[in-house]
């Protein structure tokens, strides 16, 4: 803007007469009059700074009025108040504990949290937990009890083996219990700005009104900060019925089951939505809340990336290689440091040697954690016919098993696994009826529809996620095989829809 003002000033001076010489202003005079530091220059600079300030404020405001770009202050003081939404508080986890008492001892539970009449306890940090369902000690005095955290937050996802001290134990009960079967799941800290913006944006995209599917979805997401999303199936069973499928945020959980909601999440959504106890839906509504059923899909991907590099493959000649769509698997297992793998052909070791060869780097996919683990390889020997004997220097953390998938090592295996999990987390559950042949198909399809949010089919899109996770070192990629691309239809809608999750995964060099 400054240069525009000065240009106009120069043009104006050329059309006027110097009052001293009575002659037109010379170019030298005009140049000196508009040079840096002159009165004209300073005035133009001032106008430019004032206008730039207004422009920046306008630009800032234009960003803040958009929910997906607004900062924390605008989200809380403007958007939340405008739409009557509040940030969701922290939510507690749920899990199982093993308790002991005299045979017949009963620990009273309640789905109302907190309930002073239910048995409760505390963990070593003082966080409170409550019995959900009545449990009775068997003839040996043992009982497995389901607890829900009264307090919220990530910290309520307590580990297996944690001691819970009873606050109001029933007569005959031992003073404490122990977390068993697995860590507690479902606990999450208070809602973040990003999650709030995403939830509010979904509400505006599909307007909730008069109990429509978007209204039910909005209520379900308000039930707990741990709810990732809710999928609504009108008329799933018959006219007037509604099926709601809930997925949970991954949080600190790992593995393919991380999005399956815990008991605490399902209980919170059920309490809010299902009549007659629902405070938001009419008592005559027939509504069922369920988790999705998972269907693992195995996938083989080939990537073209640098060789012998920290940005790509660890080895100059990545081993093993594939010639087709089958992954390289463990086909014989002596112990946790001695096993054999079967590849598509013999002679895949560098320079075609048979070995035993050291300095070969491998990794194994852990389907329970949905992650790679680097193997400490001592030697690899070519036994012929595509069979290779592998000797490890130490046993891996994961217990190896027949059928495990082996891949050539890469330094950024964690980033690759993150991309794999991000892709499968972007998928949603499938349908509960055959839309092509069922007369309910005009109503009983999934909402939101798969073409708008959370597609249910798995396939080539995984390469986009892997490219974003690994960045520019990946010059090319291909999906060699996938075992399941479309979730199957359940035999009965009451079983709930199927959700494709990552099963086994392997990656190989693309030549």
Separation of CA 161 from chain center = 27
Confidence check: pLDDT of 57 > 70: no
Mean pLDDT (the chain) is 90
Residues 233 and 262: beta-carbon distance below 8 Å: no
The mean pLDDT value for 418-429 works out to 95
Lowest mean pLDDT among 8-12, 218-222, 424-428: 8-12
Q: At a CB cut-off of 8 Å and minimum separation 6, what does 295 contact? A: 484, 487, 488, 498, 499, 500, 501
Looking at residue 472, its pLDDT comes to 83
Q: Residue 91 half-sphere exposure, CB side, CA atoms within 13 Å?
A: 30
pLDDT of residue 505 exceeding 80: yes
- Residue keyed to tokens 């998928």: 427
Model confidence over 441-452: pLDDT tens digits?
A: 888 999 999 999
In this model, does residue 331 exceed pLDDT 90?
yes
Per-residue pLDDT, 156: 92
Task: Rounding to the nearest 10 degrees, give the CA dihedral for residues 211, 213, 218, 222.
Answer: 80
Residue (of 414, 398, 407, 437) closest to 318 by Cα position: 407
Return the higher-pLDDT residue of 176 and 12.
176
Q: Using CA atoms, how far apart are residues 424 and 454, in angstroms rounded to an integer?
A: 10
Q: What is the pLDDT of residues 91-109, one digit of tens each?
A: 999 999 999 999 999 999 9
Model pLDDT, residue 111: 83
454-486 confidence digits (pLDDT tens): 999 999 999 999 999 998 888 899 999 999 999
Give the pLDDT of residue 182. Answer: 84
The yes-or-no verdict on residue 54 having pLDDT over 70 is no
In angstroms, the CA 136 to CA 120 distance is: 15
Region 168-173 average pLDDT = 92
The terminus-to-terminus CA distance of the chain in angstroms comes to 55
- Categorize the per-residue pLDDT at 58 as very low, low, confident or very high, splitting at 50, 70 and 90: low
Instruction: Name the more confident of 472 and 408.
Output: 408
- pTM, to two decimals: 0.81
The confidence band for 264, taking pLDDT boundaries of 50, 70 and 90, is confident
């Amino acid at each position: 803007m400054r240069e525009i003002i000065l240009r106009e000033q120069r043009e104006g001076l050329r059309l006027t007469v110097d009052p001293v010489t009575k002659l037109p202003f010379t170019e030298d005079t005009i140049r000196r009059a508009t040079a840096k530091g002159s009165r004209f220059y300073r005035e133009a600079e001032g106008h430019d700074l004032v206008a730039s300030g207004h422009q920046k404020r306008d630009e800032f405001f234009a960003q803040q009025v958009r929910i997906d770009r607004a900062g924390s202050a605008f989200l809380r003081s403007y958007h939340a108040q405008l739409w009557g939404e509040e940030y969701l508080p922290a939510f507690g986890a749920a899990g199982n504990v093993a308790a002991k008492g005299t045979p017949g001892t009963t620990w009273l539970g309640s789905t109302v949290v907190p309930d002073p009449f239910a048995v409760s306890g505390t963990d070593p940090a003082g966080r409170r937990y409550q019995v959900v369902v009545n449990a009775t000690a068997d003839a040996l005095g043992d009982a497995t009890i389901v607890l829900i955290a009264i307090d919220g937050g990530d910290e309520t996802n307590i580990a297996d083996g944690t001691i819970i001290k009873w606050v109001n134990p029933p007569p005959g009960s031992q003073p404490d219990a122990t977390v068993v079967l697995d860590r507690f799941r479902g606990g999450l800290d208070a809602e973040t700005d990003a999650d709030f913006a995403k939830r509010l944006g979904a509400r505006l995209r599909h307007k909730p009104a008069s109990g429509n599917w978007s209204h039910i979805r909005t209520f379900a997401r308000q039930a707990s900060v741990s709810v990732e999303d809710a999928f609504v199936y009108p008329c799933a069973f018959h006219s007037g019925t509604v099926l709601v499928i809930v997925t949970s945020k991954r949080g600190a959980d790992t593995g393919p089951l991380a999005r399956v909601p815990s008991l605490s999440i399902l209980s919170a959504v059920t309490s809010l939505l299902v009549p007659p106890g629902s405070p938001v839906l009419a008592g005559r509504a027939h509504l069922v809340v369920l988790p999705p059923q998972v269907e693992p899909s195995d996938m083989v991907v080939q990537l073209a990336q640098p060789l012998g590099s920290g940005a790509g493959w660890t080895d100059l000649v990545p081993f093993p290689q594939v010639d087709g769509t089958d992954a390289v698997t463990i086909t014989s297992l002596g112990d946790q440091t001695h096993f054999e793998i079967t590849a598509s052909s013999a002679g895949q070791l560098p320079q075609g040697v048979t070995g035993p060869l050291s300095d070969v780097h491998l990794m194994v996919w852990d389907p329970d954690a949905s992650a790679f683990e680097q193997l400490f390889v001592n030697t690899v020997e070519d036994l012929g016919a595509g069979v290779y004997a592998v000797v490890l220097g130490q046993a891996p953390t994961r217990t190896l098993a027949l059928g495990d998938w082996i891949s050539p090592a890469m330094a950024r295996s964690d980033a690759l696994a993150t991309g794999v999990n991000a892709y499968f987390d972007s998928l949603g559950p499938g349908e509960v009826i055959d839309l092509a042949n069922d007369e309910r198909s005009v109503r009983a399809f999934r909402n939101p529809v798969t073409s708008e949010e959370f597609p249910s089919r798995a396939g080539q899109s995984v390469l986009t996620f892997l490219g974003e996770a690994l960045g520019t070192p990946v010059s090319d990629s291909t999906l060699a095989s996938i075992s399941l691309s479309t979730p199957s239809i359940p035999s009965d809608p009451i079983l709930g829809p199927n959700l494709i999750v990552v099963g086994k995964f392997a990656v190989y060099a693309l030549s």
